[in-house]
Structure formats: structure tokens, C-alpha cells
Amino acid sequence: MSDCCSTATIEIAPVTRVAGKIQTVALVGPPNSGKSTLFNRLTGLRQKVANYPGVTVEQHYGKMSGVDRGDLTLIDLPGIYSLNTHSEDARVAVSVLRGEMPGAPAPDAVLLVLDSLHLQRQLMLAAPILSLGLPTLVLLNMSDLMETRGGEVDTLALARELGVPVAKISATRGTGLDSIKHFLDQKSGIVKAVAPRLELPVVGNPRSYRQWATGISTRTKYKAPISSAWTHKLDSILLGRITGPLLFLVVVFGVFQVVFSVGLPISNASQEFLNGLGAKVGLLLGNGWIESLLIDGVWKGVSAVLVFLPQILLLFLFIGILEDSGYLARAALIADRVMRPIGLNGKAFIPLLSAYACAVPAIMAARTIENKRDRLATVLVTPFMTCSARLPIYMLMIAAFIPNKKLLGDFFGLQAAVMLGLYALGFLAALMTARILKSSLLKASSAPFILELPQYRVPTLRSLGLRLIDRGKVFTQQAGTVILCVMIVLWVLGHVPFHADLPQSVIGHIGRWIEPIIKPLGFNWKIGIGLLSSVIAREVIVGTLGTLYGADPATQSLNLQAALRHDLTLGGAMALVVFFAFAMQCTSTLAVVRREMNSWKWPLLQFTYMSVLAYLGALATNVLVSHFF
Amino acid sequence: MALSELKIGRTAVIEGLLLPDEIQHHLMHMGFMPETRVQAVRRAPAGDPTVYAVDGMEVALRRETARWISVREPEEGSR
């Protein structure tokens, strides 16, 4: 990553570049103007998009095959308000744009994406961008929405004012994209040096840009659309004094309940199906070591993880709806009161929330936080948030040990309550840790909370569908590669030396060796092996347990839930999920923290701290649960 | 008066921002520019932050930030 802090000066005179052929095109625009949605349209790729500012935090590349120009490279950049750079993501955008980013090709042309719902304000960015002197096409995105809400603008006049072509598009619907193709075809010949005959505002200060933008929008007869009436109506309910927090809780409870009441039966049924399938194939393979490796080893392990796919997809569907609709920013607003005494930056909330999917992108999203210490604190506490890799072990233990009792009629059951408790536990651990960090190591004056509330949008099926497909792919790939390899290694270690029973095998010996350490937590040696293997990634433990219980003759005939009940007390089971709530078992997260912080010090500190907390938390849980139940 | 004192539903005109450069620039790019109209739209359920409408956009600010933005209520009849 670029550590070179490009100084925040703006060239006054437009730099003309005598460019040869266009090879690289950059997508530039203010935050949440729809650059990534357009990027996905133009390249056929799938960068993450959502309805809040700051989704994209580093540059992405793609070939423009979506408009039949596979020979051109498109760069998607984080959103910027100006060429002044205060946060890491904006620094990335500006240095790529100026061709100062090592390893990134300097762009030859710019697609400037502006949200036409707020054109007057967004035009302020046009001044510094046009002064770069690159061939530019201005795209007025969301023009369909602007027009249905009674907004209008004279694009021809705007093009005259700016001295560059202007086109109305809708990236979500894919309309108006021909103009981009046309622009590129036209400019692909030898590009003449663009004669700067524009009157751009002189100094790079917001006030002069502002006056310039206001002048232009008046002369082009820009009429701002009326802000959507139902955003207003919805907000008066969703941010209401009583209804706001209440609906916030209903949303959270509802999500968990559906994940259990709809997702769990699907998971259980697919478990039955996959087990049956394994048994049938096993019969065909005969009763040799091949059958043992493939069915008891690999199949039971991999399928134990795979069956949680439906629940994970359901959860992602909900997160997707919340993100795309614009509710996430409102949730941040409601939760600000909770975050404030902790001393965490208000902007930390969105990275923390998105960590419900995975900590890796969330840690990268912390780049939007300007204050270095605040950013570090956010990065350090993010892995406590319950990521989707924790779901398989939570689901498995809850389904096996917690009775399916109703607490609030059909709306909220005991299983969902325990699950919610685990999420709350992770969130509390994050807050407490942040509090400790902020009052000791990372003291800093609190940065202001400035949150843009996007207008509500109905999430498109296309966008939700693409998310689910991508998430499903990642999950099954992980099961097919990492988990598969771990299972094979485990099976081999479980069968060496030959003809030894599982407890006498290498794996049994390792297990017995670590058993004294984990005994106080209520774990047996199989769980211990699971913990060891899950240092790679959290969901591996479910695969490991599937393989170990599958290989053990005593539990071979049982399904995994029954085998666990046979082997663990309620105290041990709850201690295990608490251990997972706190522990840092994810090599990808450690790697990304090292990369973002440029030092091994922080990930090591984080790993040690979280492991100690996990051990103590599990110990306390085992003692308490065994005492009371 | 300070923007934080503006009653919900009322509109005022921004006079100036007394914040560190960095934050001031950020706010100006979001539309908090002198001589611009700003309306206090609603408060978050806990009473703070407050949502302000400025330049067709809704932005939430905490009281601790809004108190450093000075505004004046437009004279009667000028609306």
C-alpha cells in the first residue's frame, strides 16, 4: 500500500497530457455515487456494493468487457470529495489518479460519476478532476430516480459549461451505458491534447469550488429532485423516539429467529441427505481404507461444514437487504449513543457492523477513519464481532444442546436467544476492549461523527442474488480446499500407526497431551484437536469434529449432534461457543491486520489477548453452567 | 446562535464554522457552507446526534460538532 502521503495541493493550471492510446480508465466520484455498481456493469465483475458511503476502500481493476472493450482496464476508486486527502482510502484514490501509486498504471481517461440527486454539491468535485487535464466523461448517475422525482438538468448546457461530454445513466438499471462505449471509441484514436479553455476556480478551497458549482448548476437549469417522501416517512418511524430502538430490536431478533426457524430444518434435512448419500457411496466402495478415508474422513468432515450453507446465505440475505436499503446508516445513528462513552469513533460503527459477515473487509473498511489511533483501536476490536465463520460451530452446539423452547410465542425461541446472546457477547467484548485501549494505549481526542444518511432504496434482486452467489462460492471453496486438506491430514494422523484405534493414533496422542490444559473448560481431547485445527479458520472445527467422531467406532453410527451430546456436558458445550466468541482463530484476519498496520506487533498482541480472554471466558462459563444447570 | 440550538423543524442560515481545518473542509464538501440554508430535521432516539438537511442531503452531527457551527435564523418573511 502507498505510504507516501501525497501532499494536498491542487494544480491550478490544467495539466495537459499528450496521451497516446487510451489503455486505462479510472472511475472517480464522491462517496456513494454508484461507482462500484457501474464498475460491475462495465466489467462484468462483482465488487461489493451497498447503499452507504465508504464501501470501496481500495482500488480494483477489471477489463471493460461489459461494453465490449476488453482491451481497456478500468480502475474503481474509493469515493472522494476533493483531492485533499485526510483518510487512507481517499489517499489511495488520489495517488492512483495522479499515477503516483507504485504498481498501478496511470489512468489515461476519467469517468466522473456524479449522483444526479445531489448534483449541485457533487459538481464541486468536477473542478479538481477536470484540472487534471485527462479526457473526461461526466456521468450523471441515478438519473432515472432524479427524473421520476421531478428533477431536471440540461445536459447539453452542462457539457458546454464543463467542456467535456456529459451523459445521463443509471448504473443499477444499466441504462445509458452506450455513451461510455461511444466516448471510449472516440477517444481511442490518437487523443489530441485537450485544450484547456475552461474557467476553473483558482484555489483549491471548498468555497470557490462551491461558488463555481452553484453558478454552473444555475446556468444549466438544474432542478434538484424533491427528496423522496417515503424516506422522510420511513425515517420518522425508523428513527422515532420509541419506535426507532424498538424496530431496531425487532429487526435483530427477527433475523436470528428466521435463521433458526427456517434455516435449521433445511440444514438438518441436508445433513440427513448427505449422510445417507455418503453411506450409499460407502457401500459401493466396499469396506477398505479407501471407504474409510473418503466417507468417514473427508465426506463427514466436509459435509458437516457444508450443511450450514443455507443458514449463512439466509443471514447474508438479511445483511444485504439492510445494507442496500440504506438502513445501516440509521442503525449507526441509533447506536451512536452506545458507542460514545466507549470513546470509539462514530465512523467505527460501519466497519464493526460489516464484520458480521467477515472481519477482513471490515478491517479494511476502517481506512475511512481519519484518526490513526481510532483506526488502530477499531482494527484491534473488529475480530470480536461475530463473523459468519463462527456460525457453523454456534449452530451445531445450539442445535445439539439447547432445547427448541418458545420464549415469546412463535416470534422468538430459546435457541435464537442463545445465538443472540453470543452475538451480544462478542459485541460487548469489542466495546470493553475499545474502552480499555482508548483510556490507555490509544488515547486520542474524539473525532467528530459526521454521517451521511443515504435515501432509502429498494434493494434489487440482482444485487442481492449476486451477493448470495458470491458468498456461497467463497464458503464452498473454503470447504473444498482448506477444510478438505485439513480433513485428509487428520484422517492420516488418525490412522497412524496402522491398525491402532483412534485414541492410540498420533492424533490421539496429541489430543491426550493437550487434554490437561483444556480439561478445566469441560473439553475432551477431540475438542482440543478441533481447537488446534481451527487456528487456520474457525469453521474448520466443525469439519474436524465430523471427521473425528466419524472415525471413532464408538460414535460412528450417530449423527454429529448426537455424538456431541454423548461426549460433552452442557457446561463444556457452552464453554466451547464462548471460547469461539472471543478467540482469534483466523489466519486471514491476522494477515490483514499485519498488512494494514505494517507490523507484526499488533496482530500478535491481538492473538495473545483474545486467546487469554477466550480461555478465561470458557473456564468461567463451564464453572457457572455446571453449577447452575 | 449555534446550530445545535436550532429547534427541530426550523431552518437557519449558516454563518461560519469554527472547527479544525480538516473537519471544516469535510463539512463544507458535504454542504455546510456559509450562507447556505440548513434545517434541523430530527434527533436520534437518544436525543443526539441530530439529523440536518442541507443542500438536499441529510447529514447527522453530534451536538459537540454542531455547537461550533454558527447560524442565524432568517428574518421573518424572507422565506
CB spacing of A453 vs B27 below 8 angstroms: no
Chain A residues within 8 A of B59 when measuring between CB atoms? 450-453
Q: Chain A residues with CB inside 8 Å of B29's CB?
A: 81-82, 121, 124, 206
pLDDT for position A204: 62
Provide the ipTM. Answer: 0.90
A492/B39 Cα distance (integer angstroms): 69
Contacts of residue A160, Cβ cutoff 8 Å, sequence gap at least 6: none
Contact assignment for A244 to B30 by CB distance below 8 Å: no
Taking residues A253-260, report their average pLDDT: 82
Nearest Cβ partner for A452 among B22, B33, B59:
B59
Q: Is residue A351's pLDDT more than 90?
A: no
| Count of domains observed in chain B | 1
Mean pLDDT of A469-485: 87
Share of chain A above pLDDT 70, in %: 92
The 10s digit of each residue's pLDDT in A292-309 is 888 878 888 888 888 888
Q: Residue A14 above 50 pLDDT?
A: no
Q: Which residues of B touch A120 (CB under 8 A)?
A: 55-56
Q: How many CB pairs under 8 A join A and B?
A: 100
The larger pLDDT score, comparing residue A63 to residue A191, is at A63
Expressed as residue numbers, the domain containing B34 is 3-72
Contacting residues of A for B46, CB less than 8 Å apart: 334, 336-337
Do the beta carbons of residue A509 and residue A528 sit within 8 Å?
A: no
pLDDT in tens, A567-609: 899 999 999 999 999 999 999 899 999 988 888 999 999 999 9
Percentages of chain B per state (helix, strand, coil), in multiples of 5 = 20, 35, 45
Strand, helix or coil at A2?
coil
Residue in B28, B42, B55 closest to A206 by CB = B28
A320-342: average pLDDT: 83
Q: What is the CA radius of gyration of chain A?
A: 27
* Residue B21, domain CATH: 2.30.30.90
State the pLDDT at residue A7: 30
What b/e sequence results for A18-53 when a residue is b if at least 16 CB atoms lie within 10 Å of its CB, and e otherwise?
ebeebebbbbbbbbbbbbbbbbbbbbebbebbbbbb
pLDDT band at A8 (very low <50, low <70, confident <90, very high): very low
Chain B contact set for A241 (CB, 8 A): 45
Start-to-end CA distance of chain A, whole Å, equals 52
The reply to whether B78 falls in a domain is no
Mutate to test the interface with B, among A88, A149, A210 (most CBs of B within 10 A): A210
Query: Considering only A94-103, A504-513, A584-593, which range has the smallest mean pLDDT?
Result: A94-103
Highest mean pLDDT among A367-381, A433-447, B37-51: B37-51
Structural domain includes residue B41: yes
CA distance A568 to A1: 47
Close Cβ partners of A485 (under 8 Å, ≥ 6 residues apart): none
Distance CA A172, CA A365 (A): 23
**Residue A10 predicted with pLDDT over 70:** no
Chain B residues within an 8 Å CB radius of A453: 51, 58-60
Contact A450 B23 (CB under 8 A): yes
Tell me if B33 and A240 make a contact (CB, 8 A cut-off): no
Q: How many CA atoms lie within 13 A of B6 on its CB side?
A: 33
Rounded average pLDDT over A518-540 = 92
User: What's chain B's length in residues?
Assistant: 79
Residues whose CB falls within 8 Å of the CB of residue A140, separated by 6 or more in sequence, listed in order: A114, A116, A119, A146, A153, A155, A166, A167, A168, A169
Provide mean pLDDT across the span A193-219: 71
Q: From CA A93, how far away is CA A517, in angstroms rounded?
A: 49
pLDDT digits 0-9 by tens, A391-427: 999 999 999 999 988 887 767 788 888 999 999 999 9
Q: Is residue B79 part of a domain?
A: no
User: Are the Cβ atoms of A242 and B44 closer than 8 angstroms?
Assistant: no
Indicate the pairing of strand A69-76 with strand A24-28. parallel
pLDDT of residue A570: 94
Q: Using only C-alpha atoms, what is the Rg of chain B? A: 12
Interface test with B, best of A91, A222, A239 (most B CBs within 10 A): A239
What is the rounded average pLDDT for all residues in chain A? 84
Assign domain A24-219 to its CATH superfamily. Answer: P-loop containing nucleotide triphosphate hydrolases (3.40.50.300)
| pLDDT tens-place string over residues A107-137 | 989 999 999 888 888 888 888 888 888 889 9
Q: What is the DSSP string of A68-114?
A: TEEEEEEEE----SSS---SHHHHHHHHHHTT-STTSPPPSEEEEEE
Whether A377 shows a pLDDT value over 60: the answer reads yes
- Confidence band of A197 (pLDDT split at 50, 70, 90): low
What residue segments make up the domains of chain A, in order of their start?
24-219, 474-628
Q: What pLDDT is attached to residue B12?
A: 94
B34 to chain A: closest CA residue? A207
Q: How far apart are CA A279 and CA A519, in angstroms?
A: 34
